[in-house]
């Protein structure tokens, strides 16, 4: 079995408002950090997983993203898989 690491990035779709991102943007401005034109919050999910083929791992990650990690109505996701044994 090979060891793989997957990183999944889940973000709100551009058309969805991000009140938490707006609140942090406003707080940053109050701290004196100027020039932020956009600030959106997402989540990073890191997974270590064993398998024989990278393609099988990608299929499993896709299933997890589709069913557990992201709400497809309001979120998009991207992921990257890397073999750790190399």
* pLDDT tens sequence across 3-62: 999 999 999 999 999 999 999 999 999 999 999 999 999 999 999 999 999 999 999 999
pTM (2 d.p.): 0.87
Domains identified in the chain, total number: 1
The CATH code of the domain that includes 57 is: 3.30.1280.10
The strand ranges marked E within 27-74 are: 42-51
Q: In terms of residue numbers, what domain contains 33?
A: 2-83
Q: Quick: pLDDT tens for 64-75.
A: 999 999 999 999
CA angle 43, 49, 51 (to 5 degrees): 140
Q: Which residue has the tokens 């989540």?
A: 43
Q: Which residues contact 7 (CB under 8 A, 6 or more apart)?
A: 44, 45, 46, 47, 79, 80
């Amino acid at each position: 079995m090979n060891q793989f690491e997957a990183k999944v990035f889940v973000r709100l779709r551009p058309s969805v408002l991000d009140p938490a991102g707006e609140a942090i943007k406003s707080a940053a401005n109050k701290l004196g950090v100027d020039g932020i034109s956009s600030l959106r919050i997402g989540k990073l999910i890191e997974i270590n997983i064993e398998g024989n083929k990278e393609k099988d791992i990608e299929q499993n990650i896709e299933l997890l993203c589709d069913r557990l990690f992201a709400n497809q109505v309001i979120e998009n996701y991207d992921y990257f898989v890397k073999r750790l044994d190399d």
